[in-house]
Structure formats: C-alpha cells, structure tokens
Chain A
C-alpha cells in the first residue's frame, strides 16, 4: 500500500517539475491546446445535437436510432481501446525503460507496481474517453431527456470508467500474449497478427452495419420495431451494451452485468499481470536483439553505396522499420484509417438528405484525414531529431553540413507520409457524399497534409527533447509536441470552416480556405528557416 503511494507521489513530482521551467509559455500552450479541444467539442456537440433533433422528430424510431449510435460507438471505441492498450503494454517491454529497470531492482512488490501502472492507465483512459465521448453523450441526453444533472454525470463517468477498464484489461492481457508470441516472430506471424486485428475489425463492422440496417430506413413504423430488435447490436448479450445502458436507460440488469464484467476482468488482468510481468520482462530482455524486429530484420542495409543524404535517410527509416513499437503504431493507425473510411464509404444518401448533413460528412471526413496524418506524424516523424539525443556525439561530429541533416529529416517526413497522400488523393472517389466536389476536397486534403508534414518536421527540429531520446511517445507528448498539435489543428480547422462555408453556398469560404493555406505556407517559410538555422545552435 505504501509503495503505491510513493510511486504516485513520484509521478506528481514529475508533473510539477515539468511545469517548473518555462512555466508561462507551457501554460499558454496548454491553454491553446484546451481551447482547440474545446472548439472541437463544441463543434461535435452542435453537430450531434442537430442530428439527434432531426431524429427526435421521428419519435420512437429516432430514439432507437440514437441509442443504436451510442451502442455502436461504445463497441467501436472499445475495440480501438483494446488495440491501443495492447500496443501500449507491448511497448512497455520493447522500448528501453530505465525507470522500469530501476524499479525492478528495488525491493518492491511486483503487485504494487502492477496496480500502480493499471491505476494510471485506467484513470488516463477514462479521462480520454470522457473528452472523446462527452459531446455525443451530452447531445443525446439533452435531446431525448431535456436536462442533465449530477446523477447523469455520475452514471456517465461510471460507464466510461467501465469502458476504459474493460479495454485496458482485455487489451493489456492481449498485449502480454503478443509479447510472449513475438519471441518467435517471423514475417508471416507478424502479418498474421495484423490480419487478425483487421479481421476482427471487419467483424465489428458487419456487426454495426448488418445488411438489415439498410431495410430499416425504409421500414414502416409497425415493421420497424421487430426489425430493430433483430439487429445484432440491439441484443442484450453484447457486453458494451450493458455499459452503454448505464448512460442511456440503465436497467438494474445492465448495472449488475456491467459490475460483474468489470470486476471479473479487472481481477483476471491483475492476476495475469502479476504472474506474467517479471517472466515476460526477463524473456524479452534475454532475447537476441535481432529477434525483436518484426519485419526486415534480416535485410542488410547497404550504406556503402549511398550518398550522405541517402545514408542518413536510410538510417532514420530503419530506426522506424526495425522497431516493433513503431511498426505496431503504424499498423494500428493504418487499421483505424481503414475502419474510418470503410465506415464512411458505406454511407449511402437517400434522396432528400438535408444538405447540411452531407456537408457535415464532407467536413468530418476531411478532418479525419488530417487527424490521422497528424497523429501518425507526431509519433513517427516529429521525434526524429530528438531521438538523436544519445547519439548526438556521433551525428554532430561527422563532416555533415547542418543543412544536409535538416534536409534529411524533412525529406524523411515526406517519405513516411506518402501512403497518406495516396489515400487522400483516392479515398474521395469512394465516398458517396463527395459529389461533384472531388477536386476541392482532394485538393484541400493534399495541400493540408503536405503543409502539416512540413510543419511537423520543422517543429521537431526546434528545441528537440534530447533528454527523452528513448521514448518517441514522451517526445511527441512533450511541450513542443503540444505546440505542434495546436498549430496544425488550428490550421486544419480553418480550412474545415472554409469548406463548410463554401459547400453551404457561401463563396466567401474560398477566401477562408485560401487564407488558412497562406497562413500555413507563411508558417512553413518561417519555421523552415528557424529550424534550419537553429540546427547550428544545438548543444550536448
């Protein structure tokens, strides 16, 4: 009990010391960050509210559809949560972790360590879910009940807590099994893992959008209810429905089943972790390094025939490709993209769909593209220079012009983002709501992705967090990472607002779009120059 308290105190001290230096600017960035998030939340809230109100006009039909959306959201979020927490658990073992190595040498009970880690993850995930789902839940409540009170907030927090806990426990357990598995990793095995993840994704997809759903929109009021009842997600055996029930209707059975599920999974996970933590740790650390890579592990890099610029890029690329953590992150994000746009490509618009609804989809798809690009870059391109912290003695004493180093990092970011450019250029062709705006939508997406990639690369070169060079995750969530997120998101929101205006028939929108792009380009110019000259002033 005491150990856990000490560990928690250490965490608080870490946060406090983070704020101790450059407090003012850090608070400003944090405020900007919160503002951007709040803006997104308000936007989502009003969008969902608008949609729910149109549904509410249709009485029972409307309520059930809204309920269905919440259940589907819970299921999808749960799956994504499982994926990310499996990846996080695997990462804990695969990345060098001096803190953990040190803790393990102390006379600390392993179950204390495990409980502390689990508490942290679940608290953080609950918070994340609350931020993510609050607009949806509030809009639902306000539309169909009309008010919200403390009791509802408590129920919502409990429901989200349950969701976070189930995702963490299940994902964590899978993560452990994966770590044990990858010891014998081969290319086929890794592809198999990816295949299973995507397969389940497709399964969930079919669950959320069964063929029967299409006939539902055309059903007569009397036929509606039986049809609705037959949908897989309307069944009471789907565990995420129990948790969603806590927030929507909340029958005592839901409460009971949720509690049982949560308690069982938590106990199981803690038991598994206590049993496996040390052995897994030993196992991973006693494995030859070569086996840790997923893919390309046997390929030999041929630096001899490369120009310095190409050699630098090959080195950085192999840092990504040979790291299981980074590959896992890439695969996870790729599956999110597939899911997100798979979902959108299924949307069919019956005649008479209100224009505002179509515009909402268009803008949302644009923001989705930008969002995925941004998170991908923030983890894989932005930390590229900070990762050199420990190897700076080498890199910065080679006879390389700083401009060449700068160029290599910038080009690498562009190289990494190529698949996203391809997606941005083609995906609009498959979305029914693109309409006659293909050029506009694809053009805006492409330009924004290129601008954001440049900004991410430049900002990653300004004041890099060399002291965290071992953890791409920590680098991307550091102070400069937040700044990057605020700048890129604000630009994207600018273009999104312009798109919204233009598509609603307001020609002024073109100006908003052009303006945002120009601001982006100016930033590219300024930050490009600053990052380029700043390279000379690094000290180690």
Chain B
C-alpha cells in the first residue's frame, strides 16, 4: 500500500494576470496526513480545486492513486473524498438521504449503503439531525454531514479544505481522530488549514504555501509550526 497516493507535479494556474498557483509539486504517501498552511490568498484552495477536478490547471499534472485527474477523471474521483471549506448542501434533502445519495452515486450495492450510513451515523452524535432537511442545519452540522459523505465510499485519499473552522471542540477531536484512523488504514490525507494547533496535533507532514508556491515542507514531529509559519511567510 506504500507509495504516493496524491501526486501533484508542477501545477500552475492563473486568473488573468494573477498567478494564483505557480509550479507547485507535492506528494502524499499512504499513511500520511499532509497539512498545507499559508496566508489568505496564498493559493491553497485553488491548488486543491485543481487536484479534485473543479478547476483546470494551466500546466502540470495531478493524480490520485495513479489516475490523472484530467486524463482519467472518473478513475481519480473513485479514489478520493473531498470536503470544501463551508460546504453547501442540497437543502431539500435530509442528511440521511444525502448520505444514501452519495452511496448510490458511487455505485455501492444497497446493503452496503445501508450498513455504511448506519456506521457513519455514530461518528458524531448527530443521528437525530440526520433525519432533518439539510436546509435547517447549522454550519458545523452541515460540515459534519459533508465529511461523513466523503467517507461513504472506500477511498484511498481524503482532500479537505479548512475542516475545523466552525466545529465545536469535541467535534474537532472526533474529526482529527477519524483522519488519523483513515491514514492508519492506508489512506492519504491532504488538508488545508489555518488552525496550526490542529495541524501540529494530527498532521504527519506540513507544507507552507505563500504567493502561489510551496516555500517549505517538513515532517511535523517536534517542530514548532507557528515559528515555521511566521518565518516562511513574513514579508522581507
């Protein structure tokens, strides 16, 4: 199972004259949790959107479990779960219906879907909320259900943009533990976050992005993320 699951090679993208992402490469191996940090507007979301196929890169490649996102999008999309920052949902569906829908769209057999929804309902203490329309959800609960949806099918990668803003403290712990569990099961996690304490606690690797580039990458163990962040992103 070892070897890189998420591979980004020389990815670039500009919006008009603005170089939002320029020549970024990174790898996330199975079992790793890679935290991408960096100031607002650094290009983190743009990078992630290219990785999941929501934006076309100007140049470069990205692949998940060996499937190039542009050449073989279907193969790639079978291999990752994705969670954007502040995910909007289908307001007219209940949370439970949303999870079932995700199972069906991933082509899972009915008994598997039922079993999986049952398992996931216990991850956060929200089984009551799952019976309500998502239009009435609080931001945090919407995030939790969207996270559960990204776990519906068995993926090899999780790609998450700003997961913990808006979650209550105990939910953050549950969230982090689930990421660790996912990685220990042989998955790769790429997460973008501003919450350095979260990255410090759960990530195995960290990359700092600044003005469209990754300026440094290292293993998390032992280092002080806050100092690293400030060193790498201060304007000199």
Contact = CB atoms under 8 A, between A and B. Distances in A.
A507 interface: no
A304 interface: yes
B104 A308 contact: yes
Given A391-B88, A393-B87, A399-B77, A304 B113 contact: yes
B54 A399 contact: no
Contacts of A300: 97
B123 interface: no
A399 B103 CA distance: 11
B104 A397 contact: no
B133 A289 contact: yes
Interface string B81-115: 01010011111110001001111111100100110
Interface string A296-309: 00001111111110
A390 interface: yes
Nearest to A305: B110
Q: Give the most central of A392, A396, A398: most B CB within 10 Å.
A: A398
Contacts of A306: 104
Nearest to A398: B105
Given A304-B100, A539-B55, A391 B136 contact: no
B211 interface: no
A537 interface: yes
Name the residue among A307, A390, A393, A540 with the largest chain B CB count within 10 angstroms: A393
Interface in B127-143: 132-133, 135-136
A288 B104 contact: no
B19 interface: no
Interface in A295-330: 300-308, 310-312, 315, 318-319, 322-323
A289 B107 CA distance: 29
B74 A399 contact: yes
A290 B133 contact: yes
B102 A398 contact: yes
A400 interface: yes
A301 B97 contact: yes
Given A398-B77, A540-B55, A312 B88 contact: no
Contacts of A322: 92
B78 interface: yes
B149 interface: yes
B54 A288 contact: no
A391 B84 contact: no
A394 interface: yes
A318 B132 CA distance: 15
B205 interface: no
Contact of B52 (A302, A308, A397): A397
Contacts of B194: none
B132 A393 contact: no
A470 B55 CA distance: 22
Contact of A290 (B101, B104, B114, B132): B132
Given A289-B136, A304-B113, A319 B90 contact: yes
Interface residues of A, number: 36
B101 A303 contact: yes
Query: Which of A96, A303, A396: most chain B Cβ within 10 A?
Result: A303
B174 interface: no
Contacts of A303: 97, 100-101, 103-104, 113
Nearest to B90: A391
Nearest to A318: B92
B53 interface: yes
B92 A319 contact: yes
Contacts of B88: 390-391, 393
A307 B104 contact: yes
Contacts of B107: 308, 399
A279 to B, nearest CB: 20
A401 interface: yes
A306 B82 CA distance: 23
B105 A288 contact: no
Interface string A436-456: 000000000000000000000
The winner among A304, A310, A401 for most chain B CB atoms within 10 A is A304
B133 A394 contact: no
Interface string A322-365: 11000000000000000000000000000000000000000000
B56 interface: yes
B158 to A, nearest CB: 12
A305 B101 CA distance: 10
A455 B138 CA distance: 39
Q: Which of B93, B105, B132 has the most CB of A within 10 A?
A: B105
A304 B110 contact: yes
Contact of A289 (B53, B84, B91): B91
Contacts of A390: 88
B49 interface: yes
Contacts of A537: 56
A208 B92 CA distance: 42
Contact of B93 (A302, A307, A318, A401): A318
A393 B84 contact: yes
B90 A539 contact: no
A303 B109 CA distance: 11
A391 B89 contact: yes
Contact of B101 (A311, A323, A396): A311
Contact of B53 (A293, A323, A396): A396
Contact of A393 (B80, B82, B93, B102): B82
A106 B107 CA distance: 48
B196 to A, nearest CB: 25
A301 B53 contact: no
8 contacts: A289-B132, A303-B100, A322-B92, A391-B90, A397-B54, A397-B82, A400-B74, A540-B55
Interface of A: 96, 288-290, 293, 300-308, 310-312, 315, 318-319, 322-323, 390-394, 396-401, 537, 539-540
Given A304-B103, A304-B114, A398-B77, 14 more contacts: A288-B132, A289-B136, A293-B92, A301-B97, A310-B104, A315-B90, A315-B101, A393-B87, A394-B149, A398-B105, A399-B78, A399-B107, A400-B105, A537-B56
Interface of B: 49, 52-56, 74, 77-78, 80, 82, 84, 87-93, 97, 100-107, 110, 113-114, 132-133, 135-136, 146, 149, 153
